[in-house]
Every structure is written in C-alpha cells, then in structure tokens.
Amino acid sequence: MSSVRVRFAPSPTGYLHVGGARTALFNWLYARHMGGTFVLRIEDTDSARNTADAVRVIFDGLHWLGLDWDEGPLPAGGVRGDRGPYFQSERRAIYDRALRRLLDRDQAYESDGAIRFRMPRKKIVVEDLICGEVGFDCTLEQDFVIQRKDGSPVFHLVNVVDDLEMRISHVIRGEDHLSNTPKHLAIAAALGETAPRYAHIPLILNRTGSKMSKRDVGASLSEYQEGGYLPQAVRNYLCLLGWSLRENREVFPIETAIGKFELNQIHGSNARFDADKLLWMNGTYMRSLSVEEILPHARIWLERTGFPIAKWEQDYIKEVVLLVKEKVKTGKELVEWARPFFQEEVSFEEGAVNRFLNPAGVQALRELLDDLSEAADFASSALEARFRKLAQAHETSVRTYVHPARVATTGREVGPSLYHSLTILGKERVLHRLRRAIETFAS
C-alpha cells in the first residue's frame, strides 16, 4: 500500500456543491492513481447547521459519483479505518490535547476568554504542488483565535490537527484555501510535526466569471442526480474542471483518468463551469451506453416520475428505452419521450392537435385505421410499407398519415421513429388510440 493518504472533509450543510464534488474526485483520483488511501472526514462542528440528513446527502452524492472511500464513516453506521473518529464532533479530546501542547510550549495564550495562536512574524513559503512556490509575508500577521470563548475549536486548529493525526500526506483543496496555508504550516510546526504537502486546485467559475456559489443554478450535485444525468458523465465533466488528458480527448472512462492523473498536470488557471457542455457530454454518454447499461438508470427516472414500472414487462421497457435514448440528452427528457408508452390514455398537446387532427387529419386516421386493422405483420418495416402503399392508393404524401398517426398515438408531433413506436405499442393499443382520436376530434 502506498504512503499516499488524502482526504475529503466536507461540512454537512444540506447539499454537496459541484466544487466539493470536484475536490472529492481529484482526491479520489490521486489516491487510486498512487495506490493510496482516500479518507472521508466529516467537519460537523457547527451543530446548528449539521444534521443526519445533511450527512446522508454527502454519502449519497459520493456513492452516486462512484467515489468509494477507504476510511471514514459508513452510510449504514459504523466506520472503516483505525484513525477515527471521523466526525469532528467526536474528536474534542484530541483538540484539547493539541491546545494544551501549544499552551505548554507558549505557542498559544489565553486572551479575553479565547485562546490565540502566536503567529511567527516572518516570511512563510508554501511549496504548493500546483501553484509552485508562493511566499507570504507574515511579519505583520496578527495572532488568531484557535479556540472561541465558548470553548469550541476553530477551523484552522481542527483542520491541521486532523490532518496530522490521520497521517494525511497530501491536502488537495480549493485555491481559496491557499491564503490559510501559512497559518496551517505554522500550527503544524508549533506542534512539532511535519505538515502534509499542499496542492491547491483552481476555482470553479460561473457564467459571469465569478466564483461559483451555492446560489448559482447548477451548483448543487443533487440538481444532476434529480435531473436525470448519468453519474459517469458528470464525473467525466468534473475531471475537466482544471485537468485534462492532454490527448485532445474530452470523453473518457474513469479508468483512463485514474491511470493518467498527476497533480502537476492540474491547471493553474480557474475553470469555468459550462452547463451546456455538461448537457452535451451527458447526451454523448446516453447514446454510447448499451440498453442494459442505461436500463437501471431509466427505471429509477421512470419510477421517480410516478410510472408503475412494475406492471410492464422487462422486454417492453427495454424496447422503449432503446428507442428513445438516441434522441435525448437527460433522463428527464427520456421520461418525457417515453411517457406515451407508459400511459394507458394519451395526453394531447394542443398545438399538435390544431395542426394535425383537423378534419383532414381525422379523415386520414379513418383511412389508416381501416388499413391497419387488416395488418397481420406489425413489424416496423411492414408498417412503413403499409403507410407508403396507403399514400400511393390515395395519391398523397406519406406525411398525410405519419403526422396524424403520431399525434393520435403519442399526443405530440415530435418523437422517435413512428414505425418503431407503433411496433412497440402493439396493434391493439395502436388501434384503440386511433379510434379514440377519431371519436375525440371528429367535428
């Protein structure tokens, strides 16, 4: 086992930010690339904001992205690893010992009920694995609080103590923490310990060029989980926010990223979040996956929308998913395109009815109903031949029948291949829908 130990240390505040998800991913990739250990640590010292549900959001988000951790709390309870506790709220005795050591060494002192750290007045150089050497002039730096008046320890202390106690070798975190690093190096030195190596990854910017915040649309990972995105597509896109294969390839399996991931290849410039590119990438994955690979996701999307999937045969669901997955970019779109196949009665779009179920369209449906009632073969190729033959017999275009048939059987004017759709729906259901449309819209 490699000596590389990295960690993801989120605060359970009710959502998982895409920036946090990207940080978790980069730590996980480095651990997997180096054969090291990926630690999950929960920074839950803010008791007013942190809840069990918020912790579950973190577990669910990491699990959805496929980021398994080697040490840390387990979703079902218990822990994995021997350097816990992995919740900061359970580590108070450890912080108290560190505080006592700093006080005993005169590296900290009490002031107005709080405990302050004596910041060394000198230049501190951060040897950052991404940003390079970054110097900080701390000659005028103020001493800072490491334990509040109420006795609670401050982030700077607990962060450093946890990293030292858990033997973290590399801290991979957002560039907004770079300015905190001199303080963290100073605390580690005051405790007589060697600090981890630091690697600060570029910030993620929104469309306007400012740092992406939780208020931005698309900032929460749950938006993609609930919006019908594929986890492997989101994971692939997050890889590109500050890193690349340098092979002019943007779509690649996670195994390729693991094999190629190096900290010195992470870009120094900030990354701009492009929702349109993520949508494109998700569509690429939707088309590339086999029906067997996408089916488990599709079942979740359909069930979440309220369709009683259990009543439909597996082969029928597979046929529907295979038909529509080439036309859509998200699971939400897949559900909308699949809706007519899982509803007993068609819901008609008003615009489609006005355009294609006028008197001429209804007459076309009557002719089509008579013809399809005689069909012994309902395969798509046979249906296409019947439509063409019917159009020739009435000296008209095949579109005369295609558009009214699509609206009558699906309720909309746009959709996947009509002939394949009719085959999947089956003769009995198609004839029923044609009759209903004729009865409903005949003047």
The per-residue DSSP string of 189-223 comes to HHTT-PPPEEEEEPPEE-TTSSBP-TTSTT-BHHH
Out of 3.30.70.360, 3.90.1170.20, 3.40.50.300, 3.40.50.620, select the CATH number for domain 5-204: 3.40.50.620
For domain 221-288, say whether CATH 3.40.640.10 is its number.
no
Is domain 291-441 in CATH 1.10.10.350, yes or no? yes
Scanning 82-126, the segments in alpha helix (DSSP H) are 92-104
Per-domain residue ranges for the chain?
5-204, 221-288, 291-441
- The answer to whether 5-204 and 221-288 have equal CATH topology is no
Q: Running DSSP on this structure, what letter comes out for residue 13? A: S
310 band by pLDDT with thresholds 50, 70 and 90: confident
pLDDT tens readout for residues 118-154: 999 999 999 999 999 999 999 999 999 999 999 999 9
CB atoms within 10 A of CB 434: 21
| 54-106 residue pLDDT tens | 899 999 999 999 999 999 999 988 999 999 999 999 999 999 999 999 999 99
d(CA 81, CA 70): 7
Average pLDDT on 20-38 reads 97
Nearest to 381 by CA among 422, 343, 333, 438: 422
Percent of the chain exceeding pLDDT 90 equals 86
User: How far is residue 189's CA from residue 290's CA, in Å, rounded to a whole number?
Assistant: 54
Q: Determine the Cα–Cα distance for residues 296 and 393; give it in Å rounded to an integer.
A: 45
Q: How many CB atoms lie within 10 A of CB 128?
A: 18
Show which residues are catalytic.
Answer: 214
The pLDDT value given to residue 15: 84
Quick one: how far is CA 55 from the chain centroid?
17
**Rounded distance, CA 19 to CA 268, Å?**
16
Give the span between the Cα atoms of 300 and 132, in whole angstroms.
Answer: 45
Residues 6 or more apart whose Cβ sits within 8 Å of residue 127: 133, 197, 198
The reply, when asked if residue 214 is annotated as ligand binding, is yes
